Amino acid sequence: MGPSPLTLLRDNTDVTVVNTVTKTALFTYPVPAYTLDGDRGLRVSADVGLLNTSAVSAPDAIFTLSLGTTDMIEWEFPGISIGVPFVGRLVFEVMAKNSDAIQEVFATALIGQDVAGTTAGEGGSVASNGSGAFYGEATEDGTTDLDLKLAVTLSDADPDLAVTLRRVLVELL
């Protein structure tokens, strides 16, 4: 049995992206040099809410996880229904791949209608959810400081279309 994960960051500050089609960071974590070397890595858990109260019919949200200058994975949540709050959890494990110059990420995403909420990400249960599993790689120099970033791109700029990061947890594995 290996060591327990060490919590590096727990942030409950809401970060909302609204009214833009520009890729926008939900959070950036500065990864110190030599954190991603050998067989070590990070687990990131991000809880998000999505809400479309506009007349925009079924817009999309594309989430991107980047390490350094490499976009490791992209995940699209298509068709955000009008007036239906959604809640989701994105979990990423970014690990060195037995080298300080190769990293890989395994990710899972679960997102669905927040049947008890009136605001995205506030409520008690999820119905009609969608999920996915993802894999990606990077060849960044793990002996240098790197930024790990989760960003979102909305397909429509509308003041009533929003994605909110509710909580993020970063753990050293």
- Which pLDDT score, from 0 to 100, does residue 9 have? 95
Per-residue b or e along 121-137, where b marks 16 or more CB atoms closer than 10 Å to that residue's CB = bebeebeeeeeeebebe
pTM of the model: 0.86
d(CA 103, CA 109) in angstroms, rounded, equals 20
125 closest CA partner among 135, 140, 139, 110? 110
How do residues 98-157 score in pLDDT, each as one tens digit?
A: 888 999 999 988 877 654 444 444 444 444 445 778 899 999 999 999 999 999 999 889
- 6-172 belongs to which CATH class? mainly beta
Q: Above 90 in pLDDT, residue 95?
A: yes
When mean pLDDT is compared across 27-31, 67-71, 119-123, the lowest value belongs to 119-123
Token code pair at residue 62: 């594309």
Distance (Å, rounded) from C-alpha 114 to C-alpha 118? 8
pLDDT of residue 113: 61
CB atoms within 10 A of CB 87: 27
Of 163, 142, 167, which Cα lies nearest the Cα of 151? 163
Q: What gap in Å lies between CA 13 and CA 5, rounded to an integer?
A: 22
Q: Which helix (H) or strand (E) holds 52?
A: strand 41-52
Q: Provide the residue ranges of all domains of the chain, joining segments of one domain with +.
A: 6-172
What letter would DSSP give residue 98? Answer: S
Give the model's pLDDT for residue 123.
42
pLDDT of residue 48: 92
Q: List, for residues 32-64, the tens digit of each pLDDT value.
A: 999 998 878 999 999 998 888 877 777 888 899
Q: What is the pLDDT of residue 88?
A: 85
Report DSSP state, residue 21: -
